[in-house]
Structure 1
């Protein structure tokens, strides 16, 4: 097919629907479209009327009149195409293409193409400049026409109206921090002139940073709360341990005091028994000593007796009395408490050694209780890094 024929066919097709022109109209800039296609296009634009190809804008909406000459040319080309027979080799690809188109029709939940005039195809992209959704066929001009290549295409969406300024019908790509709302570029020169404004992308990055910072703050506040609870726990636990240990040591001291009293009573009881026995022996010895002394005094008196008979009789009686006082009673042996003192000293040493070992063990257990405090961030970067 010659280039002239291709160019002629392109000229007879609408650049919006990419189909042969139907009720063709020519707008002031010289480009031609289907009357329905350009009407729908301008209806969506509401207040701004421009050419989809060259982007020339018009102050008022142009009045559309059918271009009869172009209509006749399109009709002739249709008849010429209909007279040509399709070769068998092209029949299968045509059927496959038809099946592919059928699979591209929009269904429930799909975004439909705004340029499809009859049965709507599924949109693959939405244009944030034209504010329309485009199917795989109608997106071709945005990929090939230089004036349309700079348009921003996004994933097909049904919420385009929500991001359009209701006052200027422009994309709301600016955020006004003063009024906390999204606006378009024209709003920055009118109602929001002099306000603190940034692009939506910058504001989104700031919000994401703020969100991340708030998350870090929440995590840090949680850690601070846990640290405070740990401090309270340690104070309460140490206080309880101190009270319990004080109680235990008091009971231990009371137990030792009872044992001390028992030993003291034991010593006194032994002392009392020994003293009682010794006093009994002393009393008997003193009695015998007194009798001996009386016998000795009697002997001294008898020594001056001149009558020998009386002397011998009296002497025999005194001798018998003195011999009876020769008792085998001896003083009680000394009671020694050295063994008891030795036992008490050994008890003291054993208790001290046991206490020393147990205190060392307790000290080790107390020392093993550690509180790990995370290192505080010194810079903003460290703060954002901390988890």
Structure 2
């Protein structure tokens, strides 16, 4: 059998009833091979004294038993489906649908109308329409397929068929209207107006069909642009984090060297002071010894012996001592110079940091809040953050409703990320046993950890506590974070 798309190429005349001039409804076949609607053929035979084919006029001795032609019904069904797919215009739908309009002449029971006459303003069955086919005057009447709203097709003022459309007043009129109320107006045949409107519809559809892919392309462009901007932003964040880390590392390294230098200077000054103090103590001991000797001599009772044996020169000689008047340990000036240099460096760094857009507290809150909802994926890396520090940070950014009152309060500024509460000692960086999630720590994905470090830095001497995500479970496998490297299933969070 041909595909359904081929039925669209069929002429509608090939599958329509020759009585109602509409697409078959319950098609039945006569013994002579012609096809009609069951209702049309039954009505025709009921109104005729003989039983004959309406088309070839072949008579039958008795009324044949009518059965629906399933083959033609299938063709019509596929034809209608094809029309619905190809077009949804009201004109085609009305062609495919059978309208049950009663004959205005028939007395009960009323038969189904075969045609509606615009000149008569009535609908007629096949039998009562016979006069329109035979009478010369009635042959000129305009017949249409039966409609229920026949008044809409007739001018109520002149009781004539509505055949024209007045473009000035945008209404349908009859021929007499053009000589009275609509005289001199721009009027055209309704068929012409319909053709133009259908052409306009076609043009509008064409524009719409062009606009749709254009907008779909725009959507793709916007998505691509958004993805590109996200990639650029990610690269900027990674580069900024790298630069800031390098700066922090350089400052920390310089801080270590500076502290070492200050400590070395301090030790040198202490050694110098100790040497000077020792020399002074030696001189003091010598002076004290000399003073004791002189004190003893001053109590000699033999004056002659005292004068002969101890000349004046000997008594006035003092032990060898240094001149300490100009000897000082001067360190304040060098320290003051160092302090000034550091303050200048701090001022310079602050000025440069002011040029970098500040990450607002609301942005911090929103970004970390979103990242906390990240789904665990096997192979990813997550980081432990001390709950005490994280709670302080939440207060500072107003994370929870109860934290709003502390938002931006410098007293709640958390400072560098500090995981010391999780560590056994800062040297090995091993974490304590039996840590409980939320109570002792929270878990953040890599992106969240890098954001916190870029905003606040990491406490001196600490290293990130990174842990892997693994697939756990023999039957229902789920992803979990291995908090303890030599993991015990009960310790997986």
> What TM bracket, shorter-length normalisation?
0.3 to 0.5
Pick the structure with more helix per residue.
Answer: 1
Structure number with bigger Rg = 1
For normalisation by structure 1, the TM-score amounts to 0.39
